Amino acid sequence: MRIRLRIVALGIALCGFLASCATKHAPPQEAYQPAQADLSTYSRKVDTFVVVLDTASSMETTYLKRREDERAIEIVSRLNQTIPLLDYRAGLVAFSSGSCMSCEDAEVLYGPGIYNRDEFAAGLDRYASGGRASLAGSRAGFPQASRLILQGNPGRVALIVVSDSENILHGRAFKTVQKLRGTLGSRLCIYPILVDRDCDGRVVTEQIVKVGGCGFAVNADEIATPDAMGRYVREVFLVPAVPPVAAAAADLDGDGVPDSFDKCPNTPKGVRVDAEGCWVLHGVFFDTDRAVIKDTKVLDQAVSIFMANPKLTAEAQGHTDSTASAEYNQTLSEARAMAVRDYFIQKGVAPDRVRTKGFGETRPAASNETAEGRAMNRRVELHPHMP
């Protein structure tokens, strides 16, 4: 678990969120009274959270009469004071220099391990006062981090990246998020916190969230007050508690999500669902102008679900990037959906159990302005239905 948590945090560095060097300054200590959640009405939403703190040279810029790196450290401190003391696994990592494919400049300030508020704060304070966290034992294997991201099962993961627009705009965030999403699926939620108010940076962070599939972006000044931070923490870390008797009686499809919260009732047995009880199969991608499935691993898993649930039907929905005409892309998306249907039929799934639909370029999962985004858009999604 310790290796997995480090890989989660350092995976974000592989895409160049953070670069160049910075001198760190401790933010002024201000009285802060956190707004704590009533844990009798909430339960844990995530199993693991990792905070990635950017203190690169661009963060020396002043915003609202404060240096951005000081605001970033302060917001992480207030976040730590507000997170409920539940059995989370946690990590805190800071980046101040390094090339986009280097992990050697990552400073592990806390964890990975069971969340302890005081130890988390101590790691942050040491870094804020100018000392470097020990990298002993943390460099081994990092050159292979792109191939090791999230091996195993860290559970439901919240990745919180505190940065400025410059590093978000000039990094390769889409590629990292695509890798994380491909491994964790709906268990990953990404929560960028921008310390400035750059409109382009906000647009990009929201696109990153879409690629990840779960989470939301905020600006630091939107969560600066105790009440606002309290609401933020509840949304990221907690879900409304359900009485045990009611939960046991109200989960008719047995997917672990109570019917009162389940947006996809009658989920087929054996599938892994997201927090809303939905199974949407992702990870079926194609090369440019091709309708040949690149990797059938996800489809093979779906075949086993079909065989275990005789009443299950599904719609294969094809998509493209925007590099050709809309008319051509519509035809190509239909061909990709048909390729997935044909694969299922070859594996023994009855033809009438899988229908197809093409959406062309009309429903992008990521920006078509980058190669990484276009690769995410050349896909087929499988949407199941149980009667």
364 and 231 fall within a common domain: no
**pLDDT of 45-78, one tens digit each?**
988 888 888 766 544 565 545 576 788 889 999 9
For residue 295, the SS3 value is coil
Domain that holds residue 356: 280-385
322 and 187 fall within a common domain: no
User: Which is more confident, 258 or 15?
Assistant: 258
Q: What CATH number does residue 325 fall under?
A: 3.30.1330.60
358 and 284 fall within a common domain: yes
Q: How far apart are CA 205 and CA 191, in angstroms?
A: 9
As a whole number of Å, the end-to-end CA separation of the chain is 39
Residue 62 belongs to some domain of the structure: yes
236 and 293 fall within a common domain: no
**pLDDT of 174-192, one tens digit each?**
666 777 777 777 888 889 9
Query: What is the distance of C-alpha 135 from the center of its chain?
Result: 25
97 and 194 fall within a common domain: yes
Mean pLDDT for all residues in the chain: 76
Last residue of a domain, one of 240, 270, 292: 240
106 and 200 fall within a common domain: yes
Residue 200 belongs to some domain of the structure: yes
76 and 157 fall within a common domain: yes
Residue 248 belongs to some domain of the structure: no
13 pLDDT exceeds 70?
Answer: no
Q: What CATH number does residue 29 fall under?
A: 3.40.50.410
Residue 258 belongs to some domain of the structure: no
- Helix count and strand count (H, E) for the chain: 12, 14
89 and 155 fall within a common domain: yes
Question: In what side-by-side order are the strands of the sheet with 281-285?
Answer: 281-285, 379-385, 313-318, 354-358
23 and 158 fall within a common domain: yes
- With CA atoms as reference, report the closest residue to 76 among 40, 27, 8: 27
* Domain tally, the chain: 2
Q: Per-residue b/e over 201-231, b at no fewer than 16 CB within 10 Å?
A: bbebbebbbbbbbbbebbbbbebeebeebbb
